Amino acid sequence: MDKQVIANRIQKDMELFEPFSQTPCHGITRLPFTIEVRKCVDVLSNRMERAGLTVREDAAGNLYGRLEGSEPNLPALVIGSHFDSVKSGGNFDGMAGIVVGIEVARMLRDSGVVLRNPIEIMGTHDEEGMRFGTGFFGTKAMMGEIDDDYLRRLKDSDGVSLRDAMICYGLSPDKIKDAARDYQKEIAAFIEVHIEQGPVLEDAQKQLGLVTGIVGMQRYLVTVTGRPDHAGTTPMDLRIDAMACASKVISQMTGWAKEAGGEGTVATVGFVQVAPNAVNIIPQEVVFSVDVRSKEECCIDQIVGSLRAELEAVCGEKGATFKIDEKLKVAPASLDEKLLAMLEKGCGDLGLSYMRMPSGAGHDSLQTAPKIDTAMVFVPSKDGRSHCPVEWTEYSDLANAAHLVYETLVSNYR
Ligand code: GLV
Ligand code: MN
Ligand code: MN
């Protein structure tokens, strides 16, 4: 295999997806169930077909490209990641893993090797949870975890339900259960290649990371409701200021995360909305997101417990009210040791430097790992930057990941 040819093919594919953004020149904004995703999926589908894969879209909008193996009844090896993005993110988060998967299929085709198992290259839909405050919609649907209540309950910031967004996108929400796989019979392994999104590999000068486990995550949307009044005439002790309450709680989040300790424990408030949002009106309502992660679930629970207790105390004292909507709750996951050992051997055979490492980012693999043997390969991120427009990964490093996955499949599944 000529590494330069592989890197060039990956670059060509990666560049095809750059235009599908709602924020051209300001990074990639490819939110789920939008025209940008639809156009991206059309091109992806074309690239899969040209690599010799049989393509289908499931009821959740996930895309699969399948290559049959020599033994028709064996379960598939699924190689996947997501095609949606955050707001003004980079072109590599998610897409790199799908493009590397397609490249592995091309490498198999070019070398004439037929694996015993089928392979499926999967593009997952709405991993980031950017529009509905959630996460892992496509893989949750694949695992049979999405029902009609979920589709009706979750709404975006314009009040559009997930159900209605699916309809606008051309999917039938009533068929969501069709996206569920009989994974025990149909899927032998889930392998995800992803950019690291942090500085560890670059700092350690390693070509690849082999992921041992992924942090658990909980996401909430908190609404604090006060009373809109005149900012000049209402004395400080007679106002019910939703912002004064919310900001007091938010400002403690960093302290709670530090206090909880534990591996990979972090807490973030990344979204805040104020109403009526005017200079001379006391805020009536503040809505904010909470994203808490840790390798140790008890640390997440402790932070969320502090959040609830403080909301009760602060709002109670001021006469405000609050509501906490749970959007996502996933336990931390360990990845499969057997697959890790295969990948480790592959790195050794190919002379690629690597290190074992945990993931602080959430991934589709977090959703699959409890039930399907799952492995992740990390590729270095320049300066550790991600979820921003400057996100960058060298195509030659992505070629290393493609080479590793190809060799691992050929050595173990031929
Ligand atoms: C996804 O990238 C996440 O970790 O939030
Ligand atoms: Mn991301
Ligand atoms: Mn990602």
Work out which ligand 1 atom sits closest to the CA atom of 360.
4
Q: How far is CA 163 from the centre of its chain?
A: 20
Which pLDDT belongs to residue 245? 98
CB neighbours of residue 3 within 10 Å: 12
Separation of alpha carbons 162 and 125, rounded Å: 12
Is-contact 212 366, C-beta < 8 A? no
CA-proximal residue: ligand 1, atom 5 (nearest): 362
Is-contact 211 359, C-beta < 8 A? yes
To test the pocket of ligand 1, the residue of 266, 387, 388, 391 to mutate (highest count of ligand atoms within 8 Å of its CB) is: 387
In eight-state DSSP terms, residue 106 is H
For 6-39, what is each residue's pLDDT tens digit? 999 999 999 999 999 999 999 999 999 999 999 9
For 33-48, what is each residue's pLDDT tens digit? 999 999 999 999 999 9
Is-contact 210 344, C-beta < 8 A? yes
Average per-residue pLDDT for the chain:
98
pTM above the 0.85 mark?
yes
The answer to whether residue 184 scores a pLDDT higher than 90 is yes
Q: For residue 193, which ligand has an atom nearest its CA?
A: 3
Query: What one-letter code names the amino acid at 414?
Result: R
To test the pocket of ligand 1, the residue of 219, 363, 385, 388 to mutate (highest count of ligand atoms within 8 Å of its CB) is: 363
Q: Is the CB of 362 under 6 A from ligand 1?
A: yes
Q: Residue 199: phi, psi to the nearest 5?
A: -95, 0
| Cα of 278 from ligand 2 centre, angstroms | 32
Which pLDDT belongs to residue 194? 98
Q: Are strands 76-82 and 187-195 parallel, antiparallel or unpaired?
A: parallel
| Cα of 124 from ligand 3 centre, angstroms | 10
Which pLDDT belongs to residue 55? 98
For 87-116, what is each residue's pLDDT tens digit? 999 999 999 999 999 999 999 999 999 999
| Cα of 363 from ligand 1 centre, angstroms | 7
Q: H-type helices in 112-147, by residue range?
A: 137-142
Q: Is the CB of 128 under 6 A from ligand 1?
A: yes
Q: Is the CB of 361 under 6 A from ligand 1?
A: yes
**Residue ranges near ligand 3 (ion) with Cβ within 5 Å:** 93-94
Which pLDDT belongs to residue 72? 82
Which pLDDT belongs to residue 143? 98
Q: How far is CA 250 from CA 3, 287, 297, 307, in A?
A: 49, 11, 21, 9
Which stretches does DSSP call E strand in 68-173?
Answer: 76-82, 119-124
Query: What one-letter code names the amino acid at 21?
Result: S
Give the pLDDT band (50/70/90) at residue 1. Answer: confident
Which pLDDT belongs to residue 212? 98
CA-proximal residue: ligand 1, atom 1 (nearest): 362
Separation of alpha carbons 403 and 349, rounded Å: 11
In eight-state DSSP terms, residue 335 is P
The percentage of the chain sitting over the pLDDT mark of 90, rounded to a whole number, equals: 100
Q: Which of 117, 376, 102, 325 lies closest to 222 in space, CA to CA?
A: 325
Separation of alpha carbons 398 and 343, rounded Å: 15
Q: Residue 20: phi, psi to the nearest 5?
A: -85, 75
**Residue ranges near ligand 2 (ion) with Cβ within 5 Å:** 93
